Structure 1
Amino acid sequence: MATLLLLVLAASPVALAPPRPAHADAGRGGTSPHPSAAPVPVLAYYYIWFNPTSWNRAKIDYPLLGHYSSDDVEIMRRHIRMAKTAGINGFLVSWKHTPQLDERLAKLVEVAREEKFRLGIVYQGLDFSRTPLAFDTVRTDLSFFASRYATEPVFDIFGRPLVIWTGSDRFTAAQIEETVGGVRGKLLVLGNAKNLEDVESSHGVLDGQAYYWSSVDPVAGTSAAKLTAMSRAVHQRGGLWIAPVTPGFDARLVGGKREVPRRNGDTLRASFAAARLSEPDAIGVISWNEFSENTHIEPSERFGSTDINVLADLLGVRVDVDVPVDSSEPGDGGHWGLTASGALLFAGAAVVLLPLGVAFRRRRPPVARDGRTAGTGPDDPSADPW
């Protein structure tokens, strides 16, 4: 087996290509990225909409930390410290400008600052019925965020704070420019393109793309080509590309039809390999705690700590799922977790080992299954989808 793996890796220049650098000023005023051996950030999509009653509906699994509320600072700290030990460098926080979410984001920023952890924003530009918010609302919300956080070091992943605009693929380039053109000097605004046409139609008016592809089954073997093509198109236009990684999917309790099983961590391994081969500027893990679509890697009653351990293995670290809140050594958070040599070796290993089946699976606690047809996470906290 080891000989076969080495032969395949040696014969695969794509698998062994170095990652692209995490550059700060892609898009407007930036230069096109070039191949580099620099590591790239590993980020996880993070939801701050949970209330204690959220756990009473549309759930098949629950966090080991209990039925928490997202305004609990202790939970935030536990999440961040646990994520850091797994090699995650930051959270991509689902947010829009409401009093409750503003307050929770402010708390999370404070904790992240204390823990030397990074944050980005996923701006939820669709309501719960998936109708785009008015342009004036988007413009006002992003202007508020820029005025408050444009110089906040916690948001320094690529220089300017990173904002992913969910719903941007619904609009023309002229509409996007009119809506976010005024804040792009302060923020890096990425879209959520789902295909090459979306990438091409937003050329010049966004700073890159972050594909939230939560419902894909990477074991089917078709995702790598699509991600690579999208990455190439984004990079040719000087933009940032955040590639999706997911452990599985099951959104049937919230209206979805599709289920993607976790396969005891093999789905995550295959997804990681496909994302890595697209030469991303960052990895976007879907998700830390999206319990309605069951893409979470947060340790849980049903799935245990399997997938967070798999991710840690892929990143060459050892996770601690029982991080004490009062630890006096939170870590410096000073390195990106995805190194060129280590990550590519694991990605190549996943490509080779997965087709060989169950006999070569890693030994981890038993897992079950997951899966929604166009999963993008819930969008309207006022509708309380959780």
Structure 2
Amino acid sequence: MTRFLTSLSLTLLLIGGSPSLLSAAAPPRDLVLAYYYPWYQQGDWTRHGYFGEPTLGNYGTDDAKIAAQHIDWAQAAGLDGFVVSWGGPQDMTDKHFRAGYLQADNADQLKYAFIYESLGRLDAADGETNERIDFSKRRVVRRFQEDLAYLNKQFCGDERYLKIDGRPVVVLYVTRTFRNFNAQTLQDIEKEVGQSFYFIADEPFILGEQKDPATAENGLRDGKPLFDAYTAYNMFESDLVKEGEPAIDYMRREALPVFKTWAEQTVFCPTLMPKYHDFRGKRTLTGTPEQYKKMVAMMQELPKRPVGHGIGSIYLITSWNEWWEGTTIEPDTTDGEAFLKANREALGR
């Protein structure tokens, strides 16, 4: 445990954004984060079907003791933090995160950031139902600006909040749905909010123009990336899945070529998706802890560009507890803590 805390302390120094604390001899430190979902009601998981049985049962994410156990497990797995789903002020994700995670007695042991659920927030402001978010509409820009201002005021000043070079990290879900969006829009919003953010955009995808940043809707503009970094929350496309195949095979065949293209031209944060089995009845991707270790090794071979001072790469795990889509590494009644051990061993934590 002492060795782990020393490692964690180094990480917290690196992500604090103070170059004076860094030694020129210190190698860049990779960050490992997992998507975290504070949207479960104690004893009632009937909102959707789900795959697997969590060791903690049908817990509520507004329970600080549950969050404390999650944090303990995450530390044991070598995670540096969680990227928390956030669906707006007073959304369940907002309420449960405040009541549960932030009240855990060990919440200072990990960093956190948010994944902004743009589908649900911005498409509602758009008023359309075609999953295209039009930033030429003032109400869309206003909603985005107000939400970022809320996050900045309520959370970004927290010393536990993940920052890169002093800028709070926000992952933007499916930016490939953004239309009429440009660098000036982003600058204007940040100016109004009074905060510069480090945006990681969920833009790359397995189909269409999003395969390459040069042709992606919000990839490169005049040869420069629109966002600070890019990732792909989920590269699942049911028609390309061979039913029941291992996730490692699918990711190697379908996702890896796209990841490589993006990693060569942008700061890219690789996705680790151990398995997929969701409530919608799509084709299944299986996964074992040993296969997951191979996936980590595969993603570590991608081209790398430094994320920030003292930080090498960011690896994003889909997911800690997205039980509705069956991508979880949280301990369950089938694998126990095996995925946590696999993550720790694969990343040398």
Is the alpha carbon distance of 1:155 and 1:130 closer, same or farther for their aligned partners in structure 2, counting shifts above 3 Å?
farther
Single out whichever of 60-69 and 185-194 deviates more from structure 2: 185-194
Letter matched to residue 189 of structure 1: F
Q: Distance in 1 between matches of 2:257 and 2:180?
A: 26
- Secondary structure in 2 aligned to 1:161? strand
Paired position in structure 1 for 2:284: 259
Which residue of the other structure, out of 249, 268, 272, is the alignment partner of 2:296? Answer: 272
1:80-133 CA-to-partner distances (Å, cap 9, x unmatched) read: 111001100100001022313323233423438743210011000002978356
Paired position in structure 2 for 1:196: 212
What is the root-mean-square deviation in Å for CA atoms of aligned residues? Answer: 3.0
Q: Distance in 2 between matches of 1:191 and 1:38?
A: 22
Aligned: 1:119 with 2:149: no
Is the alpha carbon distance of 1:115 and 1:155 closer, same or farther for their aligned partners in structure 2, counting shifts above 3 Å?
closer
Is the alpha carbon distance of 1:66 and 1:148 closer, same or farther for their aligned partners in structure 2, counting shifts above 3 Å?
same
Paired position in structure 2 for 1:164: 171
TM-score normalised to structure 2 length: 0.71
Return the offset for 1:204.
4.7
Alignment of 1:145-160 (within 5 A): 145-158=151-164, 159-160=166-167
Q: Distance in 2 between matches of 1:42 and 1:91?
A: 9
1:159-208 CA-to-partner distances (Å, cap 9, x unmatched) read: 32110111321224635642564237432122101232332259454221
Q: Distance in 2 between matches of 1:294 and 1:137?
A: 31
- Secondary structure in 2 aligned to 1:164? strand
Return the offset for 1:57.
4.1
Alignment of 1:32-43 (within 5 A): 37-43=27-33
Question: How many residue pairs align between the two structures?
Answer: 280
Paired position in structure 2 for 1:208: 229
Q: Which has the higher contact order (CA 8 A, sep 6+)?
A: 1
Letter matched to residue 196 of structure 1: D
C-alpha contact (below 8 Å) 2:64/2:102 kept by paired residues: no
Q: Distance in 1 between matches of 2:60 and 2:183?
A: 34
Return the offset for 1:62.
1.8
Paired position in structure 2 for 1:349: none
Which residue of the other structure, out of 94, 100, 109, is the alignment partner of 2:102? Answer: 109
Return the offset for 1:24.
7.7
Alignment of 1:1-386 (within 5 A): 37-52=27-42, 53-55=44-46, 57-99=48-90, 100-107=92-99, 108-111=101-104, 114-127=107-120, 131=131, 134-158=140-164, 159-172=166-179, 174-175=181-182, 177-178=184-185, 181-183=188-190, 185-194=195-204, 195-197=211-213, 198=216, 199-200=219-220, 203-213=224-234, 215=236, 217-220=247-250, 221-222=252-253, 223-235=255-267, 241-251=268-278, 253-255=279-281, 257-262=282-287, 264-278=288-302, 279=304, 281-316=313-348, 337=349
Q: Distance in 2 between matches of 1:57 and 1:302?
A: 21
- Secondary structure in 2 aligned to 1:122? strand
**Identity rate of aligned residues, in percent?**
19
Return the offset for 1:305.
2.5
| Ranges in structure 1 where 5+ consecutive residues have no aligned partner | 1-21, 26-35, 236-240, 317-336, 338-386
Q: Distance in 1 between matches of 2:130 and 2:59?
A: 26
Is the alpha carbon distance of 1:176 and 1:24 closer, same or farther for their aligned partners in structure 2, counting shifts above 3 Å?
farther
Return the offset for 1:276.
1.2
Return the offset for 1:157.
4.0
TM-score normalised to structure 1 length: 0.65
